[in-house]
């Protein structure tokens, strides 16, 4: 998980450096779809780092499920077992699709996603 997060952070830093130096152009298509445009190597590196970070995090989540089931079997034997909730949001264009183990988890994920998207839009507009 740390590798995936490190790749994402490196990709965002490369994007910021590219925007500051003028090598990467950031914009919004149709008022809500962000895009990066670059003809130099720094733009390709930024996009590849972000993509690799997302892939590593998805693989970590996928292969971490088996370990979670093994750990759950061991945890059920203990008396105090903490329950957790999981939620997420998939953005298909402007349409959010929220899911979760409960309505509360899906709502929290939807609110967090809205806050992150608003912060990214403000950041892009300020740059």
Nearest to 83 by CA among 102, 57, 106: 102
Task: Indicate if 67 and 6 belong to the same structural domain.
Answer: yes
Task: Indicate if 90 and 110 belong to the same structural domain.
Answer: yes
C-alpha span between 8 and 16 (Å, rounded): 12
Task: Indicate if 74 and 93 belong to the same structural domain.
Answer: no
- Tens of pLDDT, residue by residue over 45-103, are 888 888 888 888 878 877 765 555 555 555 555 544 557 788 888 888 778 888 888 88
Give me the pLDDT at residue 99, please. Answer: 83
Give me the pLDDT at residue 74, please. Answer: 57
Q: Determine the structural domain holding residue 91 and report its residue range.
A: 86-127
**Number of separate domains in the chain:** 2
Q: pTM for this one?
A: 0.50
Give me the pLDDT at residue 76, please. Answer: 54
Give me the pLDDT at residue 79, please. Answer: 45
The answer, yes or no, to whether residue 3 has pLDDT greater than 60, is: yes
> Going by C-beta distance under 8 Å and a sequence separation of 6 or more, which residues neighbour residue 53?
4, 5, 6, 7, 8, 9, 10, 11
Task: Indicate if 66 and 115 belong to the same structural domain.
Answer: no
> Going by C-beta distance under 8 Å and a sequence separation of 6 or more, which residues neighbour residue 73?
none
Give me the pLDDT at residue 59, please. Answer: 81
Q: Measure CA of the first residue to CA of the last residue in the chain; give whole Å.
A: 29
- Tens of pLDDT, residue by residue over 32-51, are 777 878 888 888 888 888 88
26 bridge partner residues: 36
Task: Indicate if 20 and 41 belong to the same structural domain.
Answer: yes
How many CA atoms are closer than 13 Å to the CA of 77, on its beta-carbon side?
Answer: 4
Task: Indicate if 76 and 97 belong to the same structural domain.
Answer: no
The string of DSSP letters for 29-75 reads ETTTEEEEEESSHHHHHHHHHHHHHHHHHHHHHHHHHHHHHHHHHHH
Task: Indicate if 58 and 109 belong to the same structural domain.
Answer: no
Q: Which DSSP state fits 118? A: H
C-alpha span between 50 and 87 (Å, rounded): 22
Q: Which of 15 and 127 is assigned the larger pLDDT?
A: 15
Task: Indicate if 76 and 104 belong to the same structural domain.
Answer: no
The answer, yes or no, to whether residue 4 has pLDDT greater than 50, is: yes
Q: Which of 32 and 28 is assigned the larger pLDDT?
A: 28
């Amino acid at each position: 998980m740390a590798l995936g997060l490190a790749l994402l952070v490196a990709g965002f830093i490369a994007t910021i450096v590219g925007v500051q130096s003028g090598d990467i152009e950031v914009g919004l298509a149709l008022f809500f779809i962000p895009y990066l445009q670059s003809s130099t190597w720094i733009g390709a590196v930024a996009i590849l780092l972000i993509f690799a970070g997302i892939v590593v995090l998805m693989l970590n989540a996928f292969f971490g499920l088996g370990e979670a089931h093994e750990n759950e079997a061991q945890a059920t034997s203990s008396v105090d077992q903490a329950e957790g909730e999981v939620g997420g949001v998939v953005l298909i264009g402007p349409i959010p699709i929220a899911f979760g183990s409960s309505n509360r988890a899906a709502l929290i994920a939807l609110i967090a996603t809205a806050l992150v998207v608003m912060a990214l839009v403000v950041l892009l507009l300020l740059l």
